[in-house]
Amino acid sequence: MRDQDHSGLSAMVRPLMGALLSGFVIFLTGAIYAQNAPQIVPRVTGNAVPMSEAPIPPLARPITDDKRVMRNYPEQPPVIPHSIDGYQLTLKTNRCLDCHRRQYTEGSGAPMISVTHFMDRDGQVLADVTPRRYFCTACHVEQTDAKPLVPNTFQDMLQVHDPKQ
């Protein structure tokens, strides 16, 4: 009778012990791999040692020459070629529109907002900037003298496919 009681208990315990042992082996293997895993992607920002202090780099300075910069690909939003420090951009106020709205471009000399900014999602042209294009800095960024975080070997399509070069 003793064997019957133990065999019933051991029949329940054996699968449980096997599952626990398998889980422990998988956990141990993962921990060893994580310690020895190669670093494939270099760190872009932050400290090499987490939670350590590092000097804060200076803010990039805006380029204020008002020159238009060539775009790298079709439909790329143009960069903002002037400082926008202190520009108010809220639900009720958009300082960008003081110069770039159609009726103000002649006096300001600023380029007019693209016609796409007046179209709603159904393609209907509105009298004023559509709400989904109202917050300019969602797509347009200020041009600065910031150094690239990672090396960039981008080449314009015309340079890559130009048979003369």
Q: What is the pLDDT of residue 94?
A: 92
Given a cut of 80, is residue 24 above it in pLDDT?
Answer: yes
**Among 131, 132, 103, 130, which Cα is nearest to 118's?**
130
Q: What is the pLDDT of residue 43?
A: 63
Give Cβ neighbours of residue 145 (< 8 Å, ≥ 6 apart).
60, 61, 63
pLDDT in tens, 89-136: 899 899 999 999 989 999 999 999 998 999 999 989 999 899 889 999
d(Cα 29, Cα 21) in Å, to the nearest integer? 12
Higher-confidence residue of 121 and 16: namely 121
**Among 106, 107, 111, 130, which Cα is nearest to 119's?**
130
| DSSP secondary structure letters along 111-151 | PPPPGGGGB-TTSPBPSS--GGG--GGGT--B-B-PPPSS-
Give Cβ neighbours of residue 137 (< 8 Å, ≥ 6 apart).
84, 89
Given a cut of 80, is residue 59 above it in pLDDT?
Answer: yes
Residue 6 token pair: 């133990």
Q: What is the pLDDT of residue 134?
A: 92
Q: What is the pLDDT of residue 5?
A: 53
Band of pLDDT at residue 75, cut at 50, 70 and 90 = confident
DSSP-derived letter for residue 161 is H
Band of pLDDT at residue 7, cut at 50, 70 and 90 = low
Given a cut of 60, is residue 39 above it in pLDDT?
Answer: no
Mean pLDDT of 13-39: 77
DSSP-derived letter for residue 94 is B
Q: What is the pLDDT of residue 157?
A: 74
